[in-house]
Amino acid sequence: MHSMDHDTSPDDRIAGGAALIREADALLIGAGAGMGVDSGLPDFRGPEGFWRAYPMFRGKRFEEMSNPRWFDADPALAWGFFGHRLQLYRQASPHAGFACLRRWGEGKPGGCFVFTSNVDGQFQKAGFEDSHVLECHGSIHFLQCTRNCGLGIWPAEGVHVDVDEATIRASSKLPRCPGCGRVARPNILMFGDWQWDQARTQRQFESYRAWLDVVREMRVAAIEIGAGTAIPTVREECEQLAPHLIRINPHESHVRHGGVGIPAGALDALLKIDALFS
């Protein structure tokens, strides 16, 4: 039994996590914003985290800015915010923890599947197979029409928005829909968003369900990293695999239904687990 309560030493927790991974035939990797912090990406944790990343939005919440209404009300502001994030995510390099996860997954008969709420595309950049990544909130690297004119979803490759760093407003031409010419938007599920085109994420869900069918009779461990309780999609998905759950989270590592909670950052915990495999 690997269930670890809060009296367990940090080393025992790392060892418990490593044991669950070692015994598994397949891995589900669940990742929230905390996964990107060690790559230098903001996790917007609470209003303070958001304002640290974007001081000019002090007084506004992330939920207010990540909202499709700005594409109507003030598209230069909307594209300032998302254009800035697009540049940030393109420039970021996945930290060494991604390579650990990939290596562990590739060594399993059932392989691994990534279930992430992150829109930054870091798993694909780290060499994970696109067909085994589910981005439940979409991806900043794909665009859609703000009017859903029927064109669907297209890649953001070659799209660049100049952003005034002081105001976080777009200072260049805004990306437009190649179909109807209206302003485009990222294919990301925002807050209060009824226009999000789910087609790409639906296809990923179908691949995920097919993988779950393949590994149904196998021992699957879930490694959940940096997924908070504020939007619990990733946590709930991984909890279904408890007690074979390793939850890595500096603030919210508590595991209710058994498994191992590791109160640490992503890179730190993953490297310590990996050291036990060498």
Cα 258 from Cα 246, distance rounded (Å): 9
Residue 96: phi and psi, rounded to 5, are: -65, -20
Amino acid at 222: A
Q: Is 29 helix (H, G, I), strand (E, B) or coil?
A: strand
- List of long-range contacts for 205-208, beta carbons under 8 Å, 24+ apart: 205/134, 207/131, 207/132, 207/134, 208/113, 208/115, 208/134
Which residue in the list 137, 244, 251, 254 is annotated as catalytic? 137
Nearest to 190 by CA among 78, 31, 57, 115: 78
The residue behind tokens 């976080």 is 168
Task: Tell me if residue 251 is catalytic.
Answer: no
Q: Which residues are catalytic?
A: 137
